[in-house]
Amino acid sequence: MKLLFKQRIFSWFDSYDIYNENGETLFQVEGKLSWGHKLLIYDQMHLQIGEVKEEVLTLLPKFILYDHGIEIGKIEKEFTFFRPKFHLTCNDWRVEGDFMEWDYTVLNDTRIIMQASKELFHFSDTYVLDIERDEDALLCLMIVLAIDAAKCSRGD
């Protein structure tokens, strides 16, 4: 499954539209006023299905992930020098980025779960997500939202 993750340009808070390969909107993400990032994920019927909430007062970025209102885990940035890495507490997945922090791979010990690439030359943040299994789409979307919010907090 491929998803195009595109940030809306004219919005007070972080807002995104997520499209499938046919250009149909599958998800909408709306940022809410909060101390730290708070991103609500809606499906095509505009029902809230997920949330990514930043924990504040941490040394490295950390986000709590919610699936239908239930906390499923956290994604935490690891201390590294050249290539960004994140750890998920909800399963055995890990996230590894490239040196420029444009491309990310989500993997476990046996397979690649998702590859996300930031597209350049756009007015807003735009990512292409190549997800191996459709059932992993929501969690993969939350991962990319957390990474983008962590970069935003740093001023990137």
pLDDT one-digit tens code per residue, 48-91: 999 999 998 888 999 999 999 999 999 999 998 888 999 999 88
pTM of the predicted protein model? 0.89
Which conformational region is residue 145 in: left (phi greater than 0), alpha (psi within -120 to 50 degrees), or beta? alpha
- Give pLDDT tens digits along the chain (156 positions): 999 988 887 655 678 999 999 999 999 999 997 788 999 999 999 999 999 999 988 889 999 999 999 999 999 999 988 889 999 998 889 999 998 888 999 999 889 999 999 887 766 678 999 999 999 999 999 999 999 888 875 544
Give pairs for 75-80: CB < 8 Å, separation 24+: 75/142, 75/143, 75/146, 75/147, 77/150
